Amino acid sequence: MGLYQRKDSRFWWMSYTAANGRMFESTKTSSKEIAKKILRRREGEIALGLFKVGLARVTLAFAKLCEEFVSSHSSTLSTSSQRNHRTFIKNLKSYFGEYDLAEIQRPMIEEYRNHRRQQPLKSNPKATIKGATVNRELECLHCMFQFAITRKYVTENPATGVRHFDERRERPAKRMLTADEEQRIVDAAPPHLRVAIILLVQTGVRTYSEGISLRWDQVDLANQVIHLNGNVKTKASEQPVPLTRLAADVLLEWKKEQGTQSPFLFPSPSNPAKPIGTVKRAWKTTLKNASVSYFPIYNLRHVFCTRLSWVAPDAVVQHAMRHSSPETKRYYQLGLANQVREHLEQVNEKAYEKQSPLGLRALGQKSVQESVMVVEQQEAENRKPLRFRDSAAATEDTSQLEARI
C-alpha cells in the first residue's frame, strides 16, 4: 500500500491490496496530507472487513439517489414532511445533481452551505436565504447519505460534522402576548385569520399541520374535541385535542358562515378543495394594523403553553402540548421574568423581614433623594473659589495698598 503520482493526473493515487488482488484508485485530491488520510481510512476499512471490491467504484449519481430516497423513505413520512423534502431535494439536486456520490465530500458540502446562504430570497431579493432554511437542507442531505449507507452505495456520510448556522441570531425574541394585544390582533385580523388565531391560542395546535389544514370531519363540536387522525408530527401528538367553550362556540359560528362548500375549516379562495397554503402575509399585515411588534404566528403555541402552566401541573401541560418529554415544556414557556421577579420579592420579604435591606436604615428618616441633595451641597461648597476672609479685612488691605502708591 502506498501513495504515488501519475503524469496524466494532478491528483495523488493510492494502491492497496484487497481480497481480489492489487487495487489502484485516485484519491481525488492534490494535497498529500489529505491523500494520506484517505489511504489510512481505506486501510482501516480493509482491516475491519468493511471494504468490498467494487464498492468504491459504484457510480451512482446523486440525482438517482434523490429518486430512491423520495420513493423509499420520504413516502413513509407525514404530508408536511414530504412537502418539505421535495423542496429541499430540489435545491440539493440543482447543486449536486451532476456528481456521483463518491465525488461529494465534506468541503463540497461546506461550499454548498455558504453558497446557499448568500442566495437572494424570491419574495425579497434584497434579503438572503435564512440560516435555518440552509440547516434544514443540510439535515435532509445528511439523512440521504445515511440512506445511501444502508444501500451500500457509500461507506461514510460526508455531511457528518458540517457545522450549521446559529439560528438563534435570526429568530425574533420570544415575548408573551398580553390580553390587550391579543384583543387588538383579533380585531384587526380578517375573518378566517381571526378564527385561526382563537383556535391556536385556545388549543395550542401546530399552525399549519394541525390548525390551518384542519378538516371539519376532524372536529367533534358535540364532544368539544379535535381528532387529528394520525397526520401528526410525533406519535404523542395523536392524542385528542380538547376544545374550550370559547373555541367550540367560535368554530360553530364559523361553520354556519362557511356552510358545506369545503371539507376544510380554512379553504383556499382559489380552490376550496384544498386548505389555505399560508397566512404569513395576512399575519404580518394584521400585526402592523394592531400596532403589535412582529412575532411568528407559531409563537401562539408558546402562549398557550405559558398560560396553561400558570394553573396546571407539568403532567397536564405535557398532555395538552402532546409532548413526548416533559422537558420540552421549558422551550415553550414565555414571560417567566415576571414570575421570577415575584418570587424574588418574596425572598426579600422573608430574608429582611421588617428591616430595610442593604443598610438603607442608616439614612434614618431621610429619603434617598434628600440624602443625595445634602451630599451634592457639601461637594459644591468644597468647590467654591478662593476669596478674602471677610469684607472688612478686604477694605483695610485695599486702603493700605493705595497709601503706599
Task: Specify whether 114 is located in the same domain as 252.
Answer: no
SS3 assignment, position 88: helix
| 127 inside domain | yes
Task: Specify whether 205 is located in the same domain as 280.
Answer: yes
Which residue bears the cell 399552525? 207
The answer to whether 134 and 116 have CB atoms below 8 angstroms apart is yes
Dist CA 136 CA 149 (whole Å): 20
Give the domain-ending residue among 151, 169, 187: 169
Beta-strand runs (E) in 264-403: none
Q: Give residue 286's pLDDT.
A: 96
Q: Give residue 202's pLDDT.
A: 94
Close Cβ partners of 186 (under 8 Å, ≥ 6 residues apart)? 194, 197, 198
Task: Specify whether 228 is located in the same domain as 255.
Answer: yes
Dist CA 219 CA 227 (whole Å): 6
Task: Specify whether 242 is located in the same domain as 299.
Answer: yes
Identify any residues that bridge with 5 across adjacent strands, giving them in sequence order.
12
Task: Specify whether 323 is located in the same domain as 228.
Answer: yes
Task: Specify whether 186 is located in the same domain as 272.
Answer: yes
Give the domain-ending residue among 277, 302, 336: 336
| 404 inside domain | no
SS3 assignment, position 100: strand
Which residue bears the cell 391579543? 182
Q: Could you say which DSSP state residue 208 is in?
A: I
Q: Give residue 214's pLDDT.
A: 92
End-to-end CA distance of the chain: 114
Which residue bears the cell 481525488? 28
CB-neighbour burial class of residue 133 (10 A; exposed 0-12, middle 13-18, buried 19+): buried
Dist CA 309 CA 102 (whole Å): 51
The residue count for the chain: 405
Closest CA relative to residue 109, chosen from 179, 62, 72, 55: 62
Dist CA 307 CA 317 (whole Å): 10
Q: Give residue 76's pLDDT.
A: 84
Domain range holding 6? 2-48
The answer to whether 267 and 276 have CB atoms below 8 angstroms apart is yes
Task: Specify whether 187 is located in the same domain as 313.
Answer: yes
Helices (H), 30-178: 32-48, 62-72, 79-96, 106-117, 131-150
Rounded to two decimals, what is the model's pTM?
Answer: 0.60
| 231 inside domain | yes
| 118 inside domain | yes
Q: Give residue 154's pLDDT.
A: 86
Close Cβ partners of 74 (under 8 Å, ≥ 6 residues apart)? 81, 82, 85, 86
Q: What averages of pLDDT result for each successive group of 10 residues across the chain (405 residues)?
A: 80 79 79 87 77 56 93 85 91 91 91 94 89 95 94 89 88 82 95 95 90 92 86 68 93 89 91 91 95 92 88 84 71 63 74 62 50 58 48 47 44
Packing angle, helices 62-72 and 131-150, rounded to 10: 90
Task: Specify whether 332 is located in the same domain as 185.
Answer: yes
Report the DSSP pairing between strands 219-220 and 21-26: unpaired
Domain CATH number, residue 161: 1.10.150.130
HSE of 316, CA atoms in CB hemisphere, 13 A: 10
Cell of 61: 449519481
Cell of 64: 438517482
| 243 inside domain | yes
Dist CA 140 CA 150 (whole Å): 16
| 289 inside domain | yes
The answer to whether 251 and 218 have CB atoms below 8 angstroms apart is no
Task: Specify whether 321 is located in the same domain as 215.
Answer: yes
